[in-house]
């Protein structure tokens, strides 16, 4: 047995869902560059490589202090040869040449700008890049055929790429709460996603909605959307019935009520108070002189576009949905990998299936779900893998 060292139990914990990963950590100087490489691998649709970089970064986020020398890493899991090379370079030179040249590359910058349009995925962005397009403005100027979602994405490009603050998320929470309570008294609404994990800013605001009376949540989303639309609060919305049955989530077969799972991708029109507005820029000059065509608006008034995700779940699946929509994305992925590889189970946002027992396991809370999975409970604030 080895003497007790600085990096305690983490050495044996190779799944991110086994570790506590706080939001603020000591190794951003390493994780941020590694995540640039992960993102770049995603742009080239190299998922394996992207996950490898994300896992490396995630291990470093869980460390109790900043890494100062390579030998501190020798017992850590998930650090591949490529990641170690990058880390070594940063420790020695302060930067990694590979990361810096990636950051500067025309392809990376264009892919970042193009995938930054709501409704544009890597495939589409890559096609546009190969056609010579570099930015959302190029889409406008060359008259690209865009879906309704992408049109909204281009129109509100600047707002949607401005981080949503916690304060804004709270205002949106109040609105969503009013909407839901108006159309279904007794409904339960929780903030999920990054804000539930304690983030100070996010790219959107995520909500999960349910009702203690199973079935009462049925067809709820159109009612919520109508209420919001009547109030003039929506700039865009797309409601979809749950597509879980067609998804590639694995063998977990959902119970029969699964098709009631509904979700809505939306863009809210968020009024900004005079005070808020003054903090940023004088209201009268706000957006004046814009000629870039990416955003029409705000002449004199003060509002901004904010992405909001709404999900409705039956009460019996609420724990699964809560766990599935809290994130982080890597934490979720690792939970499913753990379930499959270590437990012979299949986990989704709807259900947990135990292949050995050949049955679904029920759960009324996230705590029960972690217990079913044989994992120590990790609170949302420590799921920032
Ligand atoms: P920011 O919004 O960027 O601040 O971070 P976030 O963690 O909130 O990310 P996001 O809003 O994209 O996703 C929130 C959670 O919902 C993550 O855990 C995702 O894995 C999950 N999620 C997103 N899309 C889907 C989906 O289509 N199906 C399911 N089941 N989960 C999803
Ligand atoms: Mn989010
Ligand atoms: Mn979201």
Residue 241 has a pLDDT of 80
334 lines ligand 1 (CB under 6 A): no
Task: CATH number of the domain at 13, please.
Answer: 1.10.150.110
Active site positions, annotated? 204, 206, 309
Max CA distance (Å), the chain:
70
Residues 95, 10 share a domain: yes
Task: CATH number of the domain at 377, please.
Answer: 3.30.210.10
pLDDT at 240 over 50: yes
Residues 295, 268 share a domain: yes
Residues 272, 203 share a domain: yes
> Which of 155, 186, 216 finishes a domain?
155
113-122 residues labelled b (16+ CB within 10 A) or e (exposed): bbbbbbbbee
Task: CATH number of the domain at 135, please.
Answer: 1.10.150.20
> Which ligand has its closest atom nearest to the C-alpha of 328?
1
194 lines ligand 1 (CB under 6 A): yes
pLDDT at 10 over 70: no
Give yes or no for a cis peptide into 337 (omega within 30° of 0): no
The per-residue pLDDT for range 170-185, each reduced to its tens digit, is: 999 999 999 999 999 9
Tell me which residue range forms the domain holding 263. 164-317
Residues 73, 118 share a domain: no
Indicate which residue's Cα is closest to atom 7 of ligand 1: 194
Task: CATH number of the domain at 235, please.
Answer: 3.30.460.10
Residues 305, 208 share a domain: yes
pLDDT band at 137 (very low <50, low <70, confident <90, very high): very high
Residues 168, 253 share a domain: yes
Residues 206, 95 share a domain: no
Residue 1 has a pLDDT of 43
pLDDT band at 283 (very low <50, low <70, confident <90, very high): very low
User: For 87, what's the count of Cα atoms within 13 Å in the CB-facing half-sphere?
Assistant: 24
Residues 276, 299 share a domain: yes
Instruction: Determine the residue of 325, 334, 337, 381 to mutate for testing ligand 1's pocket, defined as the one with the most ligand atoms within 8 A of the Cβ atom.
Output: 325
Residue 12 has a pLDDT of 76
pLDDT band at 242 (very low <50, low <70, confident <90, very high): low
> Which of 317, 335, 360 finishes a domain?
317
Q: DSSP 3-state assignment of 215? A: coil
Residue ranges in 47-202 assigned as alpha helix (H): 47-61, 81-93, 97-104, 106-115, 122-130, 136-141, 148-155, 157-160, 166-183, 193-196
Residues 192, 84 share a domain: no
Total of domains in the chain: 4
pLDDT at 140 over 50: yes
**204 Cα to the center of ligand 3, angstroms:** 6
Residues 171, 93 share a domain: no
Residues 254, 219 share a domain: yes
136 lines ligand 1 (CB under 6 A): no
Average pLDDT along the chain? 90
Residue 244 has a pLDDT of 54
The per-residue pLDDT for range 311-356, each reduced to its tens digit, is: 999 999 999 999 999 999 999 999 999 999 999 999 999 999 999 9
Ligand 1 atom at minimum distance from 204 CA: 2
Q: What's the predicted TM-score (pTM) here? A: 0.90
Distances (CA, A) of 202 to 65, 167, 174, 192: 25, 11, 17, 11
Residues 308, 174 share a domain: yes
> Which of 102, 121, 140 finishes a domain?
102
CA dist 44 and 47 (Å) reads 8
């Amino acid at each position: 047995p080895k003497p007790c060292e600085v990096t305690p139990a983490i050495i044996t914990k190779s799944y991110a869902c086994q570790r506590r990963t706080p939001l603020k950590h000591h190794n951003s100087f390493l994780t941020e560059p590694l995540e640039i490489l992960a993102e770049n691998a995603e742009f080239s649709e190299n998922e394996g490589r992207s996950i490898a970089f994300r896992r490396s970064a995630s291990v470093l986020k869980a460390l109790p202090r900043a890494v100062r020398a390579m030998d501190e890493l020798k017992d850590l899991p998930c650090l591949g040869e490529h990641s170690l090379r990058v880390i070594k370079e940063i420790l020695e030179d302060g930067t990694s040449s590979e990361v810096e040249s990636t950051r500067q590359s025309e392809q990376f910058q264009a892919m970042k700008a193009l995938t930054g349009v709501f409704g544009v995925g890597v495939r589409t962005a890559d096609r546009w890049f190969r056609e010579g397009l570099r930015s959302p403005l190029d889409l406008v100027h060359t008259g690209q055929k865009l879906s309704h979602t992408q049109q909204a994405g281009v129109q509100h490009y600047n707002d949607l790429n401005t981080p949503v603050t916690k304060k804004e998320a709270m205002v949106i929470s109040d609105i969503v709460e009013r909407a839901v309570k108006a159309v279904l008294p007794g409904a339960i609404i929780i903030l999920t996603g990054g804000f539930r994990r304690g983030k100070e800013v996010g790219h959107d605001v995520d909500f999960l909605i349910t009702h203690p009376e199973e079935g009462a949540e049925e067809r709820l989303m159109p009612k919520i959307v109508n209420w919001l639309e009547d109030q003039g609060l929506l700039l865009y919305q797309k409601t979809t019935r749950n597509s879980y049955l067609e998804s590639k989530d694995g063998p977990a077969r959902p119970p029969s009520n699964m098709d009631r799972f509904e979700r809505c991708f939306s863009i809210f029109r968020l009024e900004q108070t005079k005070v808020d507005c003054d903090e940023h820029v004088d209201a009268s000059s706000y957006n004046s002189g814009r000629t870039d065509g990416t955003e029409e608006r705000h002449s004199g008034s003060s509002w901004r576009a904010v992405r909001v995700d709404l999900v409705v779940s039956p009460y019996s699946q609420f724990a699964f949905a809560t766990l599935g929509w809290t994130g982080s994305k890597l934490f979720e992925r690792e939970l499913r990998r753990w379930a499959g590889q270590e437990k012979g189970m299949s986990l989704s946002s709807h259900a947990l299936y135990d292949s050995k027992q050949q049955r679904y396991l029920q759960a009324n809370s996230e705590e029960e779900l972690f217990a079913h999975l044989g994992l120590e409970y990790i609170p949302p604030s420590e799921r920032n893998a």
